[in-house]
Structure 1
Amino acid sequence: MPLTIHAREGAEVASEVAQWRDPTNPQPAAPQDAERVRAALRDPVGLPPLEQCLLPDDHVTVALAEGTPAAAGCVRAVVEALVEVGVAAERITVLAGNETLRQVAAEGLVETPAVSVVAHDPADAEGLCFLGLGRGDRELRISKQLFEADFVLVLGPSRPAGAGGAYAGLYPEFADLATLRRRRRLANIERAGDAQRRAENNEAGRLVGASFAVRVTPDGAGGVAETFAGEIDRVDTLAAEAHRRRWSCDSTPEPATLVIARVGGDRDAQTWTNVARALDAAERLVDEEGAIAICSALDETLGESLGRLVDSDDLDRVAAEMRNDNGPDAWAAWRLLCAVQRGPVYLMSGLDGELVESLGVTPIANLTELGRLAGGRPSCVVLDGAQHVSFDAAIDGTAVAAEEPFV
């Protein structure tokens, strides 16, 4: 059943906020999160049992994509399943999409130290391999850890149908720096359609030979709601449908005077990209004169694009400068700029309050302040796990100025 969103009186929401868990103290992963992954791996869809898909002396690379909920527990469950079917721990590599995710994965594998846990470095030419030529004779390059593996297992989050294709989470996430810059550049994002990006992702994924995937549908708190494992195309279809059931909204209430968007998940989920996704969802629900409050544990430093917003007195000029930005925070900075231009934005985070203010955003120190803000509003909407929420195109067909680069 699609997500249903209700507007409520601010006083009611304020009472609820007082009972919330402090977002800077994330809830530990539940044991059932890992068990859901194990259960999916015991009965993969579209493929034989895992032990028949590989040989004991295969070198296995687990591609751990950004956004995977309960990442430590999920990667531990995958590694345990591989070891149970006879793969030696020292022949398993977990390739994380970034350093923060690598640290999270390593924490989940403290009892299996023989497993190699590394972070992808797109700037390391020696760590990349040439896959072939894509459309327009464009070179396709990807991590050597994936290219040289005997068996690749892609572990990542579920996504809306069509968002990046079956190989999203593999490419361009583990591609070379030139590809990442091209895909992140805001001007290119506007020109390239979803179909074009999916085609490139799929072409690279097939050249790698990755056919086995685990997709995890998040719950509102950053845990695991559902898990699918098996043949990558079938898993992508099943996971997209599960994502739609849990996170797609096909109707909206009257615009609210305040939207509180909560970014769920552990520290690897507390990113500027997820804050931007939460802003994108909240803007669909807020009144023209209303405000958005992001509730997070964000403690990520500013990149080049976000740095442009610091103490800026000319956002139109900043917007023009951003069009050629291609860093990891380019899209997030664009979404924040658009939100600030629209109306008041509040942010509860682990960032310094003065830094938040310099971005044109009002800092919120704690849940007490957030509750006070809600209590003064006639109508309020709360979005849990706001970074996952998507909207039916029939509700709002207006395209944002720049789509997210990895979809």
Structure 2
Amino acid sequence: MQITLSFGESQKFELQLPDDKIVALCDGAGPTLESIPTAVETALTNPPQFPGLAEATVPDDLIAFAIGRHIPAVGEIVAAILEVASRPELADRRIAIVLPHDAGDALQQGVKQLVGDGERVVCEVHDPDDRNKLAFIGASKENRPIMINRILSDADMVIPVGLARLDSSLDYFGPYEAVFPTFTDRETMQRLSAPTFVEQPVLRKRRAGEATEVGHVLGVLFGLQVEANGPQTIQAIRAGAIDVLAAQIQDDLAKSWRYQPSKRAALAIVAISGGREQQTWANFARALAVGSAATDDNGAILICCELATHPSSTMLQLAEHDDLDEQRRRIRRERTADAAAALQLATTLDRNKVYLLSALPEGIVDELNMAPVANLDEARKVCEYYESCTFIAHGQLAEVAVEGEEISSDIDWDQYAL
């Protein structure tokens, strides 16, 4: 059987394998959305079971769009939002586009150019370290202070625009992710990026529940959810009452991104697709988690990507000694940006051999206790060595559950309702 697996910006991993060696080819994303502007227009002017933007607001209202992270074609989506906001029926409303603190320079410049110098429409890049741009909106059920971007706290209507993901995804915060912790203070961001939230499903659910609670305190009722078709393309843009929408959208996501091979394989080949913004340690960790779910104990995972970012000090400390239990105990105390990825790597290495085809120097890959793969020819030899293989496209978005194995994804959003 001929296999073609895309990874990176435009790389293709092609090889021929006997049919009986292939357990599964997980590459079934749905069709790509034909028109982003049309989808955004429909979402904002004629959403299901919710009034359109003009009917849901009154003159002089401030409508704030909280733009989430990792959204494909986000520049086109923002442009379409501003096009709808420029219509006569919304001319007496004020509009704010609030971007995440780590929004890329190209996105920031593009949105600011679209917004211009007028006073009716503004663009702000969130600063989690500026207390003057944060507001206290209450305390959580765990008696933690809730700090939110001041524009969002002052807005008459907050509309989160977020990337929809499966509830069981490695680091998913739920349907309010585009509000919290995306637009909170630095201390809260660091607390909620603790590696233990990645490792322990119970804590992961609690974290998602906290985001839902914050969304309700802020009064968020309506939202836009983007269903990705790939790292840079969109399958659908859905709108509506956010709690109802989030539950409905899980079925769509499962059809597109949840795969159920008949059995585990000796080797899982996981591709991280997309340009530089997708080639991150966070996506590497997601790919590892997916690969681990698809392969046997003591099997192997081959990650195909163009990751080039030098690992953090937390990642590099994995090279200091071979006691993985001690490494995990140490990493759990870290609050660096790559701590969760480091914990995922340490956990995976305890169970699987990891091969990495990337843009990193071979010496660094070797220091991290992975086996460097220099080129596609070497990758083919790895696949030929193992007796069975499962191939997974868009590993940062996919999820694998072998038949007969369950995924814990039951988050009771109702328990966080006001």
Alignment TM class, shorter chain as reference = 0.7 to 0.9
Q: 1:330 offset after TM fit, Å?
A: 1.9
- 2:82 is equivalent to residue 72 of structure 1: no
Gaps of 5+ in 1: 1-8, 400-407
3-state DSSP of counterpart to 1:388? coil
- 2:9 is equivalent to residue 24 of structure 1: yes
Cα distance in 2, alignment partners of residues 90 and 298 from structure 1: 43
- 2:150 is equivalent to residue 144 of structure 1: yes
In structure 1, the partner of 2:287 is: 278
Cα distance in 2, alignment partners of residues 363 and 56 from structure 1: 60
Q: 1:309 offset after TM fit, Å?
A: 2.1
In structure 1, the partner of 2:331 is: 322
Distance 1:305 1:89, change over 3 A: farther
In structure 2, the partner of 1:5 is: none
Number of residue pairs the alignment of both structures matches:
383
In structure 2, the partner of 1:351 is: 360
- 2:190 is equivalent to residue 181 of structure 1: yes
- 2:395 is equivalent to residue 386 of structure 1: yes
3-state DSSP of counterpart to 1:345? strand
Distance 1:44 1:171, change over 3 A: same
Distance 1:94 1:304, change over 3 A: farther
User: Which is richer in strand?
Assistant: 2
Give the conservation status (yes or no) of the 8 Å contact 2:163–2:228.
yes
- What is the identity, as a one-letter code, of the residue corresponding to 1:242? D
Pick one of 217, 227, 242 that aligns with 1:207.
Answer: 217
Matches within 5 A, 1:242-253: 242-249=252-259, 251-253=260-262
Distance 1:86 1:103, change over 3 A: farther
Distance 1:130 1:286, change over 3 A: same
Distance 1:188 1:166, change over 3 A: closer
- Note the aligned Cα RMSD (angstroms): 3.3
Cα distance in 1, alignment partners of residues 9 and 339 from structure 2: 25
3-state DSSP of counterpart to 1:252? coil
> Which range is displaced more, 122-131 or 309-318?
309-318
| Identity %, equivalent residues | 26
Cα distance in 2, alignment partners of residues 216 and 285 from structure 1: 27
Cα distance in 2, alignment partners of residues 30 and 154 from structure 1: 20
Give the conservation status (yes or no) of the 8 Å contact 2:78–2:111.
yes
Distance 1:288 1:136, change over 3 A: closer
Q: 1:366 offset after TM fit, Å?
A: 4.3
Q: Residues 288-327 of structure 1: CA distance to partner in whole angstroms, max 9, x if unpaired?
A: 3432122223333433432322454443322121121123
TM-score, structure 2 as length reference: 0.79
3-state DSSP of counterpart to 1:373? helix
Distance 1:81 1:234, change over 3 A: farther
3-state DSSP of counterpart to 1:386? coil
Pick one of 227, 233, 239 that aligns with 1:217.
Answer: 227
Cα distance in 2, alignment partners of residues 116 and 86 from structure 1: 18
- 2:92 is equivalent to residue 84 of structure 1: no
Give the conservation status (yes or no) of the 8 Å contact 2:328–2:346.
yes
Cα distance in 1, alignment partners of residues 135 and 75 from structure 2: 28
Q: 1:185 offset after TM fit, Å?
A: 2.4
- What is the identity, as a one-letter code, of the residue corresponding to 1:51? A
- 2:61 is equivalent to residue 58 of structure 1: yes
Give the conservation status (yes or no) of the 8 Å contact 1:60–1:150.
yes
In structure 1, the partner of 2:29 is: none
Gaps of 5+ in 2: 13-31, 409-418
Distance 1:35 1:359, change over 3 A: farther
Distance 1:218 1:111, change over 3 A: same
Cα distance in 2, alignment partners of residues 148 and 232 from structure 1: 20
Q: Residues 64-106 of structure 1: CA distance to partner in whole angstroms, max 9, x if unpaired?
A: 2123223222222223222236556995433233424464354
Give the conservation status (yes or no) of the 8 Å contact 2:270–2:287.
yes
Cα distance in 1, alignment partners of residues 113 and 372 from structure 2: 37
Pick one of 33, 40, 65 that aligns with 2:43.
Answer: 40
In structure 1, the partner of 2:19 is: none
- What is the identity, as a one-letter code, of the residue corresponding to 1:275? F
Distance 1:174 1:112, change over 3 A: closer
Q: 1:276 offset after TM fit, Å?
A: 0.8
Give the conservation status (yes or no) of the 8 Å contact 2:160–2:223.
yes
